[in-house]
Amino acid sequence: MEFSSYPHWNPFLPKVCGEPIPGATLSLQISLPQSKPAWLQAEVLRVVPNQEFRWISCWLFPGLVDLEHRFLLEAQGSQTTILHHRELLRGLLVPYLWRFRRQRVRQGMEAMDEALKQRVEAMIWR
């Protein structure tokens, strides 16, 4: 959740401004492959330290395109943790927009997941 370090490693969300507190507003820069970066406002929904971080962003107004982003950490013993990183899209325009953006969003999320994996593994093997 070190938002200040995101520009150094996170290609999908290179800038996140705000506090990870339920009810707080975040400003997020999303950078998809082959697209210009876009800024979104999001509301923090849930924060459980070392377990869960969840926020939601609405495009124009709620119900049009709602994007819920979740990070869940699942401990697997003392040496391993599994990251469950999900996006849930809801709203009237999702069926129309999603077919055009699905591949880029997936690539962006996978790039972030891989960058996080490399960052964590570099910290472990020092």
Is there a contact between 19 and 89 (Cβ–Cβ < 8 Å)?
Answer: no
Q: According to the model, what pLDDT value does residue 123 have?
A: 80
**pLDDT tens profile 80-94:** 888 898 888 888 888
- Per-residue pLDDT at 20 exceeds 80: yes
Phi, psi of 76 (to 5 degrees): -125, 75
- Residue spans per domain, the chain: 3-124
Which CATH fold would you assign to the domain 3-124?
Answer: Alpha-D-Glucose-1,6-Bisphosphate; Chain A, domain 4 (3.30.530)
Q: Is the pTM of this model over 0.75?
A: yes
Is there a contact between 108 and 33 (Cβ–Cβ < 8 Å)?
Answer: yes
Q: For 53-93, where are the alpha helices, taking DSSP H only? A: none
Residue type for 40, please?
A: L
**pLDDT tens profile 96-126:** 777 777 788 888 889 988 998 898 888 876 6
What are the distances in angstroms from CA 89 to CA 13, 79, 110, 118?
17, 33, 17, 28
